Chains A and B, each alone.
Chain A
Amino acid sequence: MTTALDVRGLSAGVDGKQILEGLDLVVPLGQMHALMGPNGSGKSTLCHVLTGKAGYVVSGEALLEGKELLSLEVDERARLGLLQSFQYPTEVPGVALREFLLEAAEERGISEAEARDRIEREAARFDVTRFLDRAINNDLSGGEMKRSEIFQMAVLRPRVALLDEIDSGLDIDAVKQVAQAVEEMRSPDLGVLMITHYNRILRYVTPDRIHVMIGGRIVDSGGAELAEELEAGGYKAIRERLGLVETSSEPARRPADFFTDTPFDV
């Protein structure tokens, strides 16, 4: 089994506040792992640090198929094979999705004919054809944005896909659609790390392994039984079983967190 992503002793802080506390995580090629944790546990920070967002003080290692990522620029990491689906993808005015993907494909040495073909095919598969000639993320609903993010991955074919809060802010129909898209993207050449706060998406996708993150590190890893434990008793049950004390430092909330915190479909 080849390793897609190998994170070792990763620590990260921002503005003097430590968020990741020596995190270890391995995602093999061909597998999909879920990373679950309460708000403030550092899930999104992990994504930002791996993708290369500015502003974090980072130590430790992160390897993509054995190649060190942390010393590289954002775009170099992407070309090496790391892509993130953002929790809040930004709208980019005036830049059409198709044009953008053609440039990104060219930068990877994919021929234009091949790129155009992939765009058409994958757009049909993820039902985003009507967004291709629109500005990136312009006027898209939450679910459409997430499908568009996954579609971009299908075109650019990363080796590691980070799906940050892929189900946040979505109604149940959109969660089902996005879950289907996530299952669709599985490939023997891809390792997927799907990050989620709330376990409802796990009713529609079946990860190979589930990791629970609390306080900046992975506290437990396992199979479907972990999801069941979370479903029954929440993060509180996990904390109690592991003897962890709840920390009081919650990060600033964003409005969409309200939706991720509220189990509408239960």
Chain B
Amino acid sequence: MEAAYQVFTSLEEPTGAEEDWRYVELDHTFSELQPVAVPGTELEPGRFVASLPERSGRVLIVDGHVLEHDSAVAGVQRFSDLDDDPGFTGMVPTDHNKLAAAHAAFSTEGARVEVKPNAVMEAPLVVEIQATTAGTVSFPHLQVVVGENAEASVLVDYRSADGARLLLVPRVDLELGNGGRLRFLSVQGLDHAATNVVHQRAVLSRDSTSRIGEIGLGAKLGRLDLGVSLVGDGSSSEVVGLYFGEGDQTLDYRMVIDHQGRSTTSDVFLKGAVEDDAQSVFTGLLRIEKDAARTSTFETNRNLVLSENAKAHSVPNLEILCNDVICGHASSVGPLESDHLYYLMSRGLNRERAERLLIRGFFQQVIDRLPIEGLGEVVSDEVFRRFVAAQEEGRVA
């Protein structure tokens, strides 16, 4: 941690001028934020977790401290002596950026979920990551290790106390053994005063499959820096997500899907909407390494811009160092399709109703593909509620 601290002090805070931080303003200064010595009080259960039909167990992390860790199936451990854990800083390089370095330097404890080889966890393990104390920065840490031919399912629910201005810098490391299968969904429902910068990595061994989902609804700035490394031959990754920004929110997605093994496949499918003065950012790099023959990969990012001042930036990228590949990307930014509106209205639906149906339809394609079942309705309702409120208040162009 001493080494990490050196790296942390040597790096500048992002200003927005860096390519990796373009469009984004991090309006927190580290020197003004306090670490949390005594965690705050746990929040009431959120509606996303409440709507889950069943769960395998629960992990509760409040202000970076692991307060509860139980599971009937998976081995869940709290670990506090991070220096003794070589895996702890393994997946995100400490010098990735100032915040990643801060996590490595200041994170004091975390939870590790380890699913033994051949074990099957059907109902999701629920990991609640909460931030409650205004004026603080905290560094929750989660590791999920899926053993050979094991199957794991994890739901991470991010929330924060109402009106609390604070910074959350979580790290999530997902490690899949040969033939392992992981279903992982994060729901970012922080209060709009909070800032969340997540560094999340998945490393896939031979013939393993990860399905990662993301629902971005909360935070003033909600950033997910996601890397998926398809190291093992025959591994496969799916990343699906939806986001809906309102007010002055920024929802920021930076993804790198790195194909290293042979015969690997990946698909990124992200859809979002922005209204009011909100903005969204998507940069997605599909990188295919020299020896990654027979890679098949695609990424899609669709954005609805629902008001004049809202903005969506969508930048898909390919970096192909191997010639035996199938890959592509699709990206769009715009209002609701006028052809679709016309079709629905020509059957007698008024404009408001037609728009609502289209909004539901737009996100339904993501909801149908979420890796964890049982949350579709509550997610759909939340997105719908935001749109209808904006429509009724005349905030939709």
**Residue picked from A74, A78, A79, A152, most chain B C-beta under 10 Å:** A74
Cβ–Cβ contact B361 & A53, under 8 A: no
Cβ–Cβ contact B342 & A53, under 8 A: yes
Among B338, B342, B347, contact of A104 (Cβ-Cβ < 8 Å): B347
List the A side residues contacting B342 at CB < 8 Å.
53-54, 74, 90
Q: Flag whether A26 is at the interface (Cβ < 8 A).
A: no
Q: Assuming the A-B contacts A92-B358, A94-B361, A100-B357, are A107 and B344 also in contact, with contact meaning beta carbons closer than 8 angstroms in the complex?
A: no
List the B side residues contacting A51 at CB < 8 Å.
346
Interface bits B336-378 vs A (CB < 8 Å: 1, else 0): 0111101111111111011001101111110000000000000
List the A side residues contacting B351 at CB < 8 Å.
73, 75
- How far, in angstroms, from A130 to B358 measured CA to CA in the complex? 22
Nearest-CB distance from A59 to chain B (Å)?
A: 22
Q: Assuming the A-B contacts A90-B340, A100-B344, A100-B357, are A107 and B349 also in contact, with contact meaning beta carbons closer than 8 angstroms in the complex?
A: yes
Interface size on B, residues (CB 8 A): 24
Cβ–Cβ contact B353 & A103, under 8 A: yes
User: Which segment, of A38-46, A81-89, A200-208, A241-249, faces chain B?
Assistant: A81-89
List the A side residues contacting B347 at CB < 8 Å.
78, 83, 100-101, 104, 152, 156
- How far, in angstroms, from A78 to B339 measured CA to CA in the complex? 16
- How far, in angstroms, from A51 to B344 measured CA to CA in the complex? 12
Nearest-CB distance from B10 to chain A (Å)?
A: 48
- How far, in angstroms, from A152 to B342 measured CA to CA in the complex? 16
Interface size on A, residues (CB 8 A): 29
Cβ–Cβ contact B350 & A107, under 8 A: yes
Which residue of A is nearest B363, CB measured?
A: A94
Cβ–Cβ contact A89 & B343, under 8 A: yes
Which residue of B is nearest A137, CB measured?
A: B343
Q: How many A-B residue pairs have CB under 8 A?
A: 75
List the B side residues contacting A156 at CB < 8 Å.
347-348
Cβ–Cβ contact B343 & A103, under 8 A: no
Interface bits A91-133 vs B (CB < 8 Å: 1, else 0): 0111100011101100110000000000000000000000000
Cβ–Cβ contact B346 & A74, under 8 A: yes
Cβ–Cβ contact B365 & A93, under 8 A: yes
List the A side residues contacting B360 at CB < 8 Å.
94-95
List the B side residues contacting A90 at CB < 8 Å.
337, 339-340, 342-343
Nearest-CB distance from A95 to chain B (Å)?
A: 4
List the A side residues contacting B350 at CB < 8 Å.
75, 107
List the B side residues contacting A54 at CB < 8 Å.
338, 342
List the B side residues contacting A100 at CB < 8 Å.
344, 347, 349, 357
Cβ–Cβ contact B345 & A78, under 8 A: yes
- How far, in angstroms, from A81 to B348 measured CA to CA in the complex? 9
Cβ–Cβ contact B344 & A79, under 8 A: no
- How far, in angstroms, from A93 to B337 measured CA to CA in the complex? 11
Interface bits B375-395 vs A (CB < 8 Å: 1, else 0): 000000000000000000000
- How far, in angstroms, from A43 to B339 measured CA to CA in the complex? 20
Q: Flag whether A135 is at the interface (Cβ < 8 A).
A: yes
Nearest-CB distance from A3 to chain B (Å)?
A: 22
List the A side residues contacting B354 at CB < 8 Å.
75
Cβ–Cβ contact A75 & B349, under 8 A: yes
Cβ–Cβ contact A103 & B357, under 8 A: yes
Which residue of B is nearest A153, CB measured?
A: B347
Residues of chain B at the chain A interface (Cβ within 8 Å): 337-340, 342-351, 353-354, 357-358, 360-365
Residues of chain A at the chain B interface (Cβ within 8 Å): 51-54, 73-75, 78-79, 83-84, 86, 89-90, 92-95, 99-101, 103-104, 107-108, 135-136, 152, 156
